Amino acid sequence: MWRITRQFVVHSVLAFVLRRRYGKPGISFSAVHETNAQYIQVIFLTGSKKLVTLTDSDDIYLWELTSVSQTSCQLVQRSCLRRITSQLKSLPSGVPGSSANNEEYCHVTALCYAFDGRSILIGTDSGWVASIRLNTSGTTDDYTKFWCPPSTDGAINPSRILDGIAPDRHQRLRADAVVVLLERPGFPGQLLIGYNSGLSLLFDLRSDRIMALLPWQHGLEAAAWCGGSGQPNRSNLSSHPPQLGMRLLTAHSDGSLGVWSLKGIGFGTTTIPPVQPPLLEMEEAPSMPYGPFPCKLISKVFWLPSSLGGITVFVGGMPRATYGERHTVSILRGSNIDQAANANVIAARLAAAAEAEDDEEIPDESPLSAPPIHVFDSDAPEHVCLDLPSSLVDLIPVCPVDGPVQILIILCEEEMVVVDLITSGWPFMRPPYLACLHTTSLTTYNLTTQVSSTLLSNLEAAGAFYGPEGRFGRGGAIADNPSGGGWSSLPWPIQGGHALINGSRLSTSSLGGNILYTDDLLLTGHEDGSVAFWRLSAGGCLRRIYTLHTAILFEDVSQLFRMSNSTLVVGLLSCDYNI
């Protein structure tokens, strides 16, 4: 299983939990855990060459990128903390002294690296929030004492939360599994804790008190701070924009999004707890972007800064009846989600009225405020819904520290999808690694070495004219405007490391001045009758330069797609010749 880390760091390195870490094209490091436990999450320890991985057995591993020689590095396991929740017993409803299930251990459901760089916060399925402190007093080589395991002393459990709330509110507030742990950017020591029941709260770790309650009736799935990228500059906390940390975007199990305002909350240094923490409400009624009919839950949400306005990215939220089995990611910019919901309501009413024989049954649209707009009209806000070809594993926005978002990386079970969020129209990018060879089922392959530079140039030219996928009818547009063929010309932004390539014949051609390709070709045959030509480079990088659709050799072009299921490539044979 692949999983993307939820942080992008200054080192410009991206980590996937497929036992490999990637930097610039040609740079990759791999590592293997001691056990076969499933990977859950990986986070970078910002400002260092270390990262932390979490497994489903509640083991935490510490890895470090170390230099083996002047020209090579490797990813080394430095420490392992097993069963990190062993001291945090599962207590029903967070009530100490309850006899039921008292010997059951809880499991980690949320992970957060503290802004101060000294601790890792964990949330569990029984409502605990505890801290794994990094032992900064020992020497850098004393990795056996790197961790200070979590304990019940100082941990935040449900009973401690309920003690800070009036008894008459206990029935409406339930602190169950922790699904969100986010430190409030620009407010050191303030932690957002979100529970699966729908309750969220802002907790001040320094004064040990609840600062605000954010309850909602539907289950909480994810949250994001509005006004920033979620990647704060730890070296200079005062550099945050003043609006950062003032609004919170939450995603819920009914497919809705809600916005909360925290202006005026958390200022000052007083340690005297208030009589009761304020009970906040959403700024507006929650919006279902694809409602009003029942929708799937929204499992992830991001709010990303851009030069043309904030971009909202979320996973799921589609109507259950029509998209129940689909895997989708939605991207919106400058959108009024309430207007989008209104448009859906109107469309649903008009569709129902169209089925009626009597025109008098057309519903009245007057109760809806604001002029109706269609979500996908040219006059509507920018709105794209990506229907993914395979199950979603994870996604992450990539952006400079406190800067505008550049790309969105979406990792699926079978391929990686990259969206350029800078270029108008949000075109796709061709990633230099983790390319998918089997967009259609692979039936045969062949590796050809030392290919003539003339042949390579001709294949490159054909790919530039017809497009690497050989889409007929798009060639002229691609030749006139390479960026207008649906692909981005933005350089690959992840540029960590320096590639030293040895033992391979390199071609003089390059991609964006960053990747040097060999004079080798990988040919793959597919069940739809197509043959793909791939240029190879060191570090597992490859890109498709041309696709030959053999079906048109046997049938008329108009019947190409009808023949795609019955015309397959069963073999490939290369021969030496010069053009």
Tens-digit pLDDT profile for residues 142-188 = 555 667 777 777 788 888 888 878 777 777 778 889 999 999 988 88
Tokens at residue 368, please?
A: 């809806």
What's the confidence (pLDDT) of residue 274? 55
What's the confidence (pLDDT) of residue 408? 93
Distance CA 188, CA 205 (A): 9
Tens-digit pLDDT profile for residues 183-224 = 998 888 899 999 999 999 999 988 888 999 999 989 999 999
Tokens at residue 477, please?
A: 């547009």
Q: Is 53 helix (H, G, I), strand (E, B) or coil?
A: strand
Distance CA 331, CA 289 (A): 11
Q: With contact defined as beta carbons under 8 Å apart, do 407 and 302 qualify?
A: no
- SS3 percent helix, strand, coil of the chain, rounded to 5, is 15, 35, 50
Residues of the chain with pLDDT under 50: 1-11, 17-19, 92-102, 138-140, 228-240, 242, 337-342, 358-380, 472-484, 502-514, 560, 563-566, 577-579
What's the confidence (pLDDT) of residue 253? 94
What's the confidence (pLDDT) of residue 571? 59
What's the confidence (pLDDT) of residue 429? 84
pTM of the model: 0.75
Alpha helices (runs of H) in 423-529, residue ranges in sequence order: 453-466, 475-480
Counting Cα atoms < 13 Å in the Cβ hemisphere of 46 gives 20
Please state, as a whole number, how many other Cβ atoms lie within 10 Å of the Cβ of residue 266. Answer: 17
DSSP string covering 481-510, please?
-GGGGSB--PPP----S-----SS-EEEEE
Contacts of 338 (CB under 8 A, 6+ apart): 284, 285, 287, 370
| Angle, vertex CA 341, rays to CA 316 and CA 314, nearest 5 | 25
Distance CA 110, CA 189 (A): 18
Which H or E run includes 562?
helix 560-563
Tokens at residue 197, please?
A: 């029941």
Amino acid at 169: R
Q: Is 458 helix (H, G, I), strand (E, B) or coil?
A: helix
Distance CA 442, CA 153 (A): 56
Q: With contact defined as beta carbons under 8 Å apart, do 533 and 546 qualify?
A: yes
